[in-house]
Chains A and B, each alone.
Chain A
Amino acid sequence: MAYFSQQLINAITLGAIYGLIAIGYTMVYGIIGMINFAHGEVFMIGAFISLIGFMICSLLGIGSAPVAILLVLLMAMAFSAVYGWMIERTAYRPLRGSFRLAPLISAIGVSIALQNYVQLVQGARPKPGGQIVSGGFNLFSADGFDVRVSWLQIIIVVVTVVLMAGFTWLIARTSLGRQQRACEQDMKMAALLGVNVDRTISLTFVLGAALAAVAGMLFLMYYGVIDFFIGFLAGIKAFTAAVLGGIGSLPGAMLGGLLIGLIEVFWAGYFSSEYKDVAVFAILVLVLIFRPTGLLGKPEIEKV
């Protein structure tokens, strides 16, 4: 029971991170119907900017952890958002209206280029991030096993919940959210009615990138080590989460992230940690075969 609870806590933490990345996939897919394969790299760049941000904070002598985290959070979101904007502007926008697989191939190119760009300018070795938040408390003890919740895990879950709530509000209530939903339903009609479609799509990428950057920061704080390659696996897992939850659906992305976190952690905890990634990939394959619309997605009708 205690072991189970501990795994559950770890799984929720991990799931929160995947959920944040998955939102980026789901929004982009919802609005322009493409898999933004480079999204995982934006997450990786967010993690690197966070690492540099924390180092700058300690150079400037900002000792208080909450201030440092908040500063780095804003910095990582802002500067990763520029990456998201740039990717859309240079690699995807010129391809709107090209054949269907063109944006995906271009996205793979962006992904390879970004990975190697970071490897070149930052080096290939794993970067230790140091410990920014330490400590925690015992939730309860059972069977001689302490169930611990670290402050870091609480921070991760709180940040995620706050961001997701804010995000849901943004989509449901603001004019940007309305424009976004309008573009999602019918881009041409939205344009006719005065919605600036290009700007809305750009903003979608910017928002997705900002959330991925937050996930990158949380990942750095949680695991303490990053390298230029983390975006690939995290990206695929988050994409799996988005598909599992139903691509195009925001609550689906959060639910999917949580489920992927659960599957990965429990598979590693109870079966074998070598095959935890295989389990996630197998879930991806199975969901796509048997329920391509995911848990909360709407069925898609192909129009001729």
Chain B
Amino acid sequence: MGSRLSTMLKDAALTAFVAAALGIFIVGFRTVDVGSRTGLSFDYQFADLAVAVVTIFVGRLGLSAAAAGLRWPVVALGVAMIAVGASPLKLPSGFLHWFVALGGVLLVIRGIWPWARGTAAAAAGTPAGLVLGRAGAKWFGWLLLAAAVLLPFTPAADQRTMDLAVLILTYVMLGWGLNIVVGLAGLLDLGYVAFYAVGAYAYALLSTQHGLGFWTVLPLAGMMAALFGIVLGFPVLRLRGDYLAIVTLGFGEIIRLVLLNWVDFTNGPAGIGSIPGPTLFGAVFAETPPPGKQSVSEMLGITFDGNHRLIFLYYIILLLALITNLFTQRMRRLPVGRAWEALREDETACRALGINPTNTKLTAFAIGAMFAGFAGSFFAAKQRFISPESFAFIESAIILAIVVLGGMGSQIGVVLAAVLLIGLPEWFRELGNYRMLAFGLAMVLIMVFRPRGLIADRQPSVRLHPAGSGGGP
């Protein structure tokens, strides 16, 4: 026991030492501007660093202890850390309170993990659990859909909630669109936001310069984005996975830079403003409609409410997202959908069986791009202002994170991930600054601990020999 403790202590000390080496300059010496033009001066933060290093030492010790099977001491340690984090004790910065508390939460989870997993597995193994699990998987999606349809009629639907719901659904739609490319066809696309941008600019330009309406442009924008997908995809889709990822990243950046620099066409960094919103059978959402137009409140004979526009937008994006989902579900049952999944699993075998990999990938790429185009024109109509800033690489990374976290290929996983990654940070505004940090760390942690995502659905839709029938190898 003694030697094991000393090993743990040594391990924790080493981790703390590495953490100190990582942080000593970057964290310890904060450079701050002083008045003059070239001057920087130091704001020393060694107290912060010390607290962080001690936390890491304790945390590492706790993790080793958990690995050695000491459940309750670890949980107690975690609770103690949460108590320190939540206490009025004056730590050097507010962030450290969070840091210590989150470390504690982590330890508690790690401590009870084997027990929780065992219990959950046992519960799922009982006949009642099996029935419940199967029914849950079947009905969960429908329940979610019913909740989504009814949301605007609930008392919770104030402006903030609806804004957030529209945002989440936009990302759900983008996630479902990218899921076709990444989840089903297995092509890592790091420039997905480029097609989103094409859709958004298509609507913005066609509506402000040629006076076309939202419903006319929507299919056009989708087609245009799909065309871009074909043109960009055709030469590069024969590349290997990681090369393809980098090339799509390059395309994404090229499109953004062109939008930024082609001022005559796109108005450059200033963006395009006063984009008209979508209309309902020709009627606009405004208190005083422009001459020659009818407002929706007049048409329906109801009093004007600013929220109506938001609710209308909400149903549009819900509809678009559902179309994306339904389309994907149907495609999976078509030969081309099967071919996507087969390509994802083994390209060489597909080639041997006579599937043309480039064409098959191209359909996935173009269809994914088309849905991004739809979502893009919705985005432009909702925001009424777009600029190249909205289409940076980080957006592609966020959409990819949603797909990866949800479980590549899983439709319901994307919804959960979008709520988790977009909804939570927007709801807790205080976390704003740490949002992207948590984002990046989450991507790493998911890959390390749950590479198949929250809901793993990488099973091919069909098998020659159903699993467990003993027919296949």
Show the binding face of A for B, using Cβ within 8 Å: 34-35, 45, 48-49, 51-53, 55-56, 59, 75, 79, 82-83, 85-86, 90-91, 94-95, 98-106, 108-118, 120-123, 125, 127-128, 130, 232, 236, 239, 243, 274-275, 277-278, 281-282, 284-285, 288-289, 292, 302, 304
Contact = CB atoms under 8 A, between A and B. Distances in A.
A128 B37 contact: yes
A239 B33 CA distance: 33
Interface string B367-401: 00000000000000000000000000110010011
Given A86-B18, A105-B447, A117-B26, 5 more contacts: A79-B24, A82-B18, A104-B188, A275-B257, A281-B251
B236 A288 contact: yes
Given A79-B21, A106-B448, A113-B444, A55 B31 contact: yes
A49 B261 CA distance: 33
B283 interface: no
Nearest to B22: A82
30 contacts: A48-B25, A48-B26, A51-B40, A52-B29, A55-B29, A55-B40, A82-B18, A91-B447, A101-B186, A104-B242, A105-B404, A108-B190, A108-B400, A109-B441, A109-B442, A113-B443, A114-B440, A121-B27, A123-B31, A125-B33, A232-B393, A274-B261, A278-B257, A282-B254, A285-B250, A288-B236, A288-B246, A289-B235, A292-B240, A292-B243
B156 interface: no
B263 to A, nearest CB: 9
Contacts of A35: 242, 245-246
Contacts of B348: 302, 304
Nearest to A49: B25
A285 B451 contact: no
Interface size class of B (residues with CB under 8 A): 35 or more
Contacts of B116: none
Nearest to A124: B433
Contact of A285 (B31, B38, B236): B236
A281 B38 contact: no
A95 B440 CA distance: 16
A34 B240 CA distance: 12
B150 interface: no
B436 interface: yes
A28 to B, nearest CB: 12
Contact of A108 (B37, B240, B443): B443
A275 B261 contact: yes
B304 interface: no
| 7 nearest A-B pairs in the assembled complex, by CB-CB distance | A109-B443, A113-B440, A112-B440, A106-B447, A109-B444, A116-B437, A281-B250
Contacts of A127: 31, 40
A102 B81 CA distance: 32
B257 A110 contact: no
B32 interface: yes
Interface in B18-48: 18, 21-22, 24-27, 29-33, 37-40, 42, 45
B247 interface: yes
Contacts of A115: 436, 440
B17 to A, nearest CB: 10
Contacts of A236: 246, 249-250, 253
Contacts of A112: 394, 397, 436-437, 439-440, 443
Of B26, B397, B404, B433, most buried by chain A (CB within 10 Å of CB) is B26
B357 to A, nearest CB: 13
A288 B451 contact: no
B364 to A, nearest CB: 15
A289 B447 contact: no
